[in-house]
Structure 1
Amino acid sequence: MTAAREHWGSRFGFVMAAAGSAVGIGNIWRFPYTTGTNGGGAFLLIYLAIIIGFGLSVAIAEMLVGRAAQRNPVGAFRTLGGGAWPLVGYGGVLTGFVILSFYIVVAGWTLAYVGFMASGSIHTTDAGQLSQVFSGFVADPVRPILYSGVFMALTAWIVVGGIAKGIERWNKILMPALFVILLALVLRAVTLDGAAAGLGFFLKPDFSKVTAETFYAAIAQAFFSLSIGMGTLLTYGSYLSRHEHLPKATLTVAMVDTSVAVLAGLMIMPAVFAFGFDPSAGPGLTFVTLPAVFASMPLGALFGVLFFTLLAIAALTSAVSILEPMVCYFVDEHCMSRRKVVIVAALVCFALGIPASLSFGIWSGVTIGGRNWFDLMDFLANNLMLPLGGLFTALFVGWAWKKATHELSNEGSLHLPWAPVWLFVLRFLAPLGILWIMASALLA
């Protein structure tokens, strides 16, 4: 006999956990740069419209499948759809293994940089020297792997505690801490001399920069930011009460996620402009440009430690949510103990992360289809596996699951006059948008 299914202890706990899943490293460094180079405030308006009209619909659909079935991704599609639909769930579980294998590598870097900032070893404004430090660190065959192992162990430690005593408990601590650190950094950034130029770069609408690429960038950011397509939202939804007001809860999660992204822009861009650094440094903005920025300001070491702690927290809450669907699958479908599954899954992800880490060093010349292991895993996950997961979830709820709107309304107890529009989005707009993401990425 299977044990009674755990549920979230409170709506606040669920929102913090789901928001923690959505808030990741990409929110902190990628969103501000993408906004600034795609029209600033114009991009923000487009992004918010897509979140509401596109991303939110698919997020609701994914969580609805989990809540209705009260099962893991595979079990949910088997229960509600049958036939070949469980393959969508298997895809989500597999996607988790792929993503976590390279995500823990970058997350390990954030842990290392907390120590670098605290020790003062990278306290310099010389971008060339900082670039050498970063390149030398990621190419090291040992240290990055050790840091990724520490990060994986932290993730496993939280997940092994279960829903209420593990994931919910720690998200209720980590997410408020993230907001406190983020707000402190925003306050410091916007009060710097010259911060106004960065605020203008980030917020001022420039419709001359709006092209088809802007809409693609906004759709991709919304889709990936909300953690759609890998079974995370479905699994978290499976721990919800059947009486939860799902649309309202999902909207709250989207608002928290978007708020973090916008605040990150208000933190990073004013500081970068205030000290005359390049806002278009891409990934280097995090590990090269920003340390130089912190070295330029009073109490820079302190703010640097806070920033990379913020990144580590964002990475940890996301990693926890990525690991949970795998664990939920083996616990539900194979009646395995949570502790055993977590340990084995964590070890597998860590092992897969080793070649991803070595891709920046001694294995950088080993390629498959022109990509090293890290880039290959990143490409497969972001351009194929996640979009396919979101696509089939939208098609399942929009076309195959006839009781979707009845379930969404809590069996008729909620008045949802917009439900037909939601179905229209899932049936037509969401699939077209997702196919556009895939085609744009594959043809680039």
Structure 2
Amino acid sequence: MDKNTSNRGQWASNIGFILAAAGSAVGLGNIWKFPYLAGANGGGAFVVIYLVMIVIIGFVIMLGEMAIGRNTHLSSVGAYKKLSEKWAFVGFIGVVVGFCILAFYSVIGGWVLNYIGKYLIGGISGAEAGNYFSGFIASTTQPIVWHLVFMVLCCVIVLKGIAGGIEKASKFMMPALFILLVIIAIRSVTLDGAMEGIKFFLKPDFSKVTIGTVMAALGQAFFSLSLGMGAIITYGSYLGKTENLEKNAIIIPAIDTAVALLAGFAVLPAVFAFGFEPGAGPSLMFITLPSVFDSMPFGQFFGILFFILVLFAALTSAISLLEVVVAFVIDTFKIERKKTTIIISTILFFIGIPCSLANGPVMKDVLIFGYNFFDFMSFLAENLLMPLGGLLMCIFIGYVWGVDNISDEISCNGKYRFRSKPFFVIMIKYIAPVLIFIIWLNAIGVLPYIFKIFGITL
């Protein structure tokens, strides 16, 4: 056991790390965004393109982040600083991303908790689903109370440490999430009329494939794996030298992709079976699906199962976000974990309050660069900083730290054969930076204007 790792905490097992890292990747986007994007972008054609992007982007960036973390046994800021002091700012980008995302993500987690409670006492009728959701998120007190409950859950898990908190929770929640998703998927695909949804999801319609389809698949492959925000670096810093990083970098995206595909089977067949349209964003999860559950036999039961699995997906991602910030404070200021976790969680709770209020009359008209507070935090973290962090990491590995150094780390100085090294080197130095730069331009809204100049339509 490495001395530095044992002092900071360490995963009790490699499977614990894999489940925690996969839990970080598996989030709300897997449950609602992937099925919607597949449906809106040619079904099976989108899935094929997405899988290619996972190999190009997901595997390479995840392997790079794990290697940085394990080599330094430090959180994202300390890791970059140890390898090259001038590049510490890249690690700080990850901390800011984790902080900003969790501030509004915990608000959404509170919405999920509310829906679990609602289904436990009877469910939501299809007729009132839209009004219930809009009325709930616009209210002043209720969403903040549920946001507090979600934040407390995250805090309790993280303050218990790596093996005793995050790993133990992930070992329970990830298998449970998978089992619940399988149950709901089976129910969904066996509904009368579900076959149209299955065809919609799986049958490739390449006539619908456009540049926009490729961009959607590229963006989903990057954002769904929690890349560019320091989580995998931080989780990797708790690894010892016995784990095969290359193997882990294949398994974790594979689990994330499996969950996304299962979510497609769980959502789209049921939506089509009852004649609903797969809407984007929160409306699919909080309005369309409650209407679907209201239309199917034993809908209340499946509604409970669904929102519990969504809660697990939200929690496993949220604790990784919290750990990014907590690990940075622990490593930088040498404050013990319990105190750090409570302080950071409290700050995040209070930052989350204006995120919640931005959805109602109290703060909906308070705008920052044209965004309400909730949307501004989302844009800053997910659109601006996450792709930037991923882009700079590729440049750092390819041209600053160097492929020879990272190869030594990945192979444990020859203990493991780095089978994908030629592919990894080409991707990390040349292909991945270009693709992530394109993701960034698209995320900040610049790419459509560039394409317009050349007469290309997204």
TM range (shorter): over 0.9
Using the alignment, how far apart are the partners of 1:420 and 1:191 within structure 2?
45
- For 2:280 and 2:131, the matched residues in 1 are separated by 15
Equivalents in 2 of 1:157, 1:395: separation in Å? Answer: 37
Task: Give the match for residue 77 of structure 2.
Answer: 74
Gaps in structure 2 of 5+ consecutive residues: 449-458
Q: CA contact under 8 A between 2:123 and 2:300: conserved in structure 1? A: no
Alpha-carbon distance between aligned partners in 2 of 1:207 and 1:135, rounded to the nearest angstrom:
36
User: 1:101-135 CA deviation, whole Å, 9 max, x = no partner?
Assistant: 0100111100000111121251x222xx2111111
Name which of structure 1's ranges 393-402 and 232-241 shifts more when overlaid on structure 2.
393-402
| Cα deviation digits, residues 69-96 of structure 1 (max 9, x gap) | 01111111111122x2111111111111
What are the superposed Cα offsets for residues 38-81 of structure 1, whole Å, 9 maximum, x if unpaired?
11111111111110122210111011100000111111111112
Maintained 8 Å contact 1:405/1:419: yes
Say whether residues 1:348 and 2:347 are aligned partners: yes
Give the superposition deviation at 1:404: 1.2
| Counterpart residue type for residue 58 of structure 1 | I
Q: Is the 8 A contact 1:275 1:293 kept in 2?
A: yes
Instruction: Name the CA distance, whole Å, in 2 between partners of 1:299 and 1:171.
Output: 29
Deviations 1:262-308 (CA, angstroms, capped at 9, x unpaired): 00000001101111111235421111111111011111000001111
Contact 1:155 1:319 in 2 (8 A): yes
Alignment deviations for residues 361-416 of structure 1 (CA, whole Å, 9 cap, x no partner): 02111111111001111111111110111111111111111311121111122222
1:261 match: 260
Alignment match, 1:375: 375
Identity %: 48
Instruction: Determine the C-alpha separation between the residues in 2 that align with 1:159 and 1:266.
Output: 32
Asked if the contact 2:104–2:352 (Cα under 8 Å) also holds between the matched residues in 1, the reply is yes
Give the match's secondary structure for 1:8: coil
SS in 2 for 1:356: helix
Letter in 2 for 1:216: M
Cα separation, 2, equivalents of 1:121 and 1:418: 50
In structure 1, list runs of 5 or more residues that go unmatched. Answer: none
| Partner Cα separation in structure 2 for residue 281 and residue 62 of structure 1 | 30
- Give the superposition deviation at 1:197: 0.4
For 1:85, what is the secondary structure of its paired residue?
helix
Give the corresponding residue for 1:401: 401
* Residue 19 (structure 1) aligns with: 22
Tell me the amino acid that sits aligned with residue 205 of structure 1. P
- How far apart, CA to CA, are the structure 1 residues paired with 2:22 and 2:102? 18
CA contact (8 A) 2:293 2:300 kept: yes
SS in 1 for 2:367: coil
TM-score relative to the length of structure 1: 0.97
Give the whole-Å Cα distance in 2 for the aligned partners of 1:310 and 1:415. Answer: 37
Could you tell me how far apart the structure 2 residues matched to 1:191 and 1:56 are? 34
CA distance in 2, matches of 1:330, 1:370: 32
- Answering whether residue 414 of structure 2 is matched by residue 412 of structure 1, we say yes
Aligned partner of 1:384: which letter?
A: L
Amino acid at match of 1:368: I
Which consecutive segments of 4 or more residues in structure 1 shift more than 6 A? none
After superposition, residues 170-181 of structure 1 pair within 5 angstroms as 170-181=169-180
- Among 100, 104, 108, the residue aligned to 2:110: 108
Mapped contact 1:398–1:424 kept (Cα < 8 A): no
Tell me what 2:455 maps to.
none
1:327 maps to a residue whose letter is: V
- Give the CA deviation at 1:333: 1.9
Contact 2:56-2:432 within 8 A present in 1 as well: no
Q: In structure 1, what is the equivalent of residue 126 of structure 2?
A: 125
Q: Does 1:47 align with 2:50?
A: yes
1:9 matched residue in structure 2:
12
Note the C-alpha offset of 1:243: 2.4
In the other structure, the counterpart of 2:384 is 384
TM norm structure 2:
0.94
Q: How many residue pairs end up in the alignment? A: 440
Partner Cα separation in structure 1 for residue 50 and residue 255 of structure 2: 14
SS in 2 for 1:322: helix
